[in-house]
Amino acid sequence: MERQQVYEGKAKVLYSTEDPGVLVSYFKDDATAFNAQKKGQIADKGKLNCTIATHLFRLLESQGISTHWIETISDREMQVRRVDIIPLEVVVRNVAAGSLCKQTGIALGTPLKPSLVEFYYKNDELGDPLLTRDRIRALQLADEAQIKDLIRLANQINTALRIFFEKCQIILVDFKLEFGLDDQGSIILADEISPDTCRLWDRVETDASARILDKDRFRKDLGQVAEAYQEVLQRILAQISLK
């Protein structure tokens, strides 16, 4: 059967397969920032993110966290479970950076204890605004039980990823998650986890911009973008091979 494109996002394309419950997620080299006002390409980003996301999904699965990942089938493609995406961007913050600093004045690098879990409306036309629990309910994006579940899952994922990245000598500053509902109505982790969707700071390097190992290198024109993603992958692989 010819595979059909079912969705194209900014960084990935989803294709149908002969199994209606399974899609193929293809990782592109395209990079965007500031709601796609800035556009570019990062050499081999699709391959790097597909491999990084594979290892991180496997890590979460091994800790009992359900994800959409089934199998990685090429250097840019993974088979994933088809889910109905909940149009929320769930952001977890361990250290103040990005829009948190801009909107609140909290100094960059301030440790956040306990970590923050925030919800943004996944809506490009509106510029992904920050939501409140009441707004989520008013928009009928999730009910109270689902909101609680999303917060629980986000915290669980944060704990697993933080511990893992710490072993890689990387500080997990913040990250964005997307969840979907499977055919049973269960919430499972979808999308990707990669240097596109996380802020990752080198624990060893202390120079403020040299330590950035994520998409902020692209957002802020810091250069060495693909090299930073490659560094993240190398550290993940080194950590996994120690097991």
Q: Which residues sit at the interface with ligand ASP, rule CB under 6 A?
A: 10, 32-36, 215, 219
> Residue 174 in contact with residue 98, Cβ under 8 Å?
yes
By CB under 6 A, residue 198 contacts ligand TMP:
yes
Q: Which is nearer to ligand TMP, 128 or 145 (CB)?
A: 128
99 binds, among ligand TMP, ligand ASP, none (CB under 5 to 8 A by kind): ligand TMP
CB 166, min distance to ligand TMP, A: 17
By CB under 6 A, residue 175 contacts ligand TMP:
yes
Q: Which is nearer to ligand ASP, 93 or 215 (CB)?
A: 215
By CB under 6 A, residue 174 contacts ligand TMP:
yes
Q: How far apart are CA 17 and CA 118, in angstroms?
A: 34
Find the radius of gyration of the CA atoms of the chain.
Answer: 17
98 binds, among ligand TMP, ligand ASP, none (CB under 5 to 8 A by kind): ligand TMP
| Residue number with the smallest Cβ distance to ligand TMP | 98
| Residue number with the smallest Cβ distance to ligand ASP | 32
CB 183, min distance to ligand TMP, A: 27
Q: How many residues bind ligand TMP (CB under 6 A)?
A: 12
Q: Which is nearer to ligand ASP, 36 or 238 (CB)?
A: 36
What is the dihedral sign for C-alpha 205, 29, 16, 51? negative
The candidate with the shortest Cα–Cα distance to 74, out of 41, 30, 27, 29, is 27
x/- map, 95-134, ligand TMP, by CB under 6 A: --xxxx---------------------------x------
Which structure tokens are listed for 68? 């959409």
For 90, residues 6+ apart whose C-beta sits below 8 A from its C-beta are 117, 118, 119, 150, 154, 176, 177, 178, 179
The region of 52-60, 68-76, 174-182, 232-240 touching ligand TMP under the rule CB under 6 A is: 174-182
Helix (H) or strand (E) holding 240: helix 225-241
Residue 47: CB atoms within 10 A of its CB come to: 17
> Residue 101 in contact with residue 108, Cβ under 8 Å?
yes
Q: How far apart are CA 12 and CA 85, in angstroms?
A: 14
Asked whether the bond before 20 is cis by omega within 30 degrees of 0, the reply is no
CB 12, min distance to ligand TMP, A: 12
- Binding residues vs ligand TMP (CB under 6 A): 91, 97-100, 128, 174-176, 197-199
